[in-house]
Structure 1
Amino acid sequence: MKVTRNTPDQLILSNTPWPIGIMLVIFILCFVGAGLFMVNEGSEGVWFGIIFALFGGGLGFGAFCVFVRRVQVILDRKSNSILIRRQSLFGYDSVEHELSNLSHAEVETTTSTRDRTTSKMHRPVLILEKGMSAGRHPIVEAYVSGRGAQRMVDAVNAWHPKRKVDSDSQSA
């Protein structure tokens, strides 16, 4: 995920998973191509080639549908809105929140242990403190390794600083 626009009035974060999309297309083409090559070779491998192409290509297509999703988050001061757009092969989804309800962004982390090795995966989350959609709203659904999530959280928090608590206010 990367920052595509950072102006005083607008912050746009965008994620288009080109590397995984390209790898999955190559995967699909390899299996379909190998299967068609087997079909073309003769009568002995025709059914095996068809099954190979359909199964391998189908697995790649299924993975493409699940993992390749474009996400765009637009924080706009002028319209007081946060717009989260998600687009996949099957459709388009858009969710809108009020920017005035945004408290801050933070990194959500999950830890997994396998073969005595611990790995941590992260994703950026917007924290809305009030309104109908108060709560935690992940920018992307998948957890990823690396510092990308922290960079997105830093960009959001720098653009929309946390509200300062008024320590002089009277409490009941």
Structure 2
Amino acid sequence: MLETDADPDAWAVLSDDLHPCEQVAAAWLLGLGFNRAAPAEVLVSLFDTGRTASSPQFLHRADLPTGVLDAAVVHPSKNVRGRAAESGRLSAEQWSRLLAATTEPHFRYALAELAADQAGYRGAGARIGVERPPDSESRPPASPAEIAAIPTAVMHRLIALTALD
């Protein structure tokens, strides 16, 4: 029997009386968000589930179907737009749409700073650090001199950031 030949009411028999607790329901939705076979329409519909535990963490996936981030940057929920921004995967056009869709001044300012910060990371080329590598060209410090230079690099970055305030 093919999957398309199955009785559409067969699942109803299994799920009609099913009332999972909030944690189980949130876990199911979270799992669905990370399911690589889930189509873009299903992932976009997860934005509106209203479950805080299943916030769109899947927006950090590197293999998102086309259109999911596009829908996230113009979504009315601040949580969804924020997760999209934090993903580090937005194009310049998506950043523009995200900032245009954000009317709250403080949130817009924070997003603009994040956009500038992420653009700086992309333009900096290979970076040395202790966090996850941002791209395939990044590498960990390889010598004592490179390790010793990290605090100085961090200090210069902090000075540059505070100068913007």
**TM-score normalised by the shorter chain: which range applies?**
under 0.3
Task: Kindly indicate which of the two structures has a greater share of residues assigned to helix.
Answer: 2
Select the structure of larger CA radius of gyration.
Answer: 1
State the TM-score, normalized to the length of structure 1: 0.22
Higher relative contact order (CA 8 A, sep 6+): 1
Task: Kindly indicate which of the two structures has a greater share of residues assigned to strand.
Answer: 1
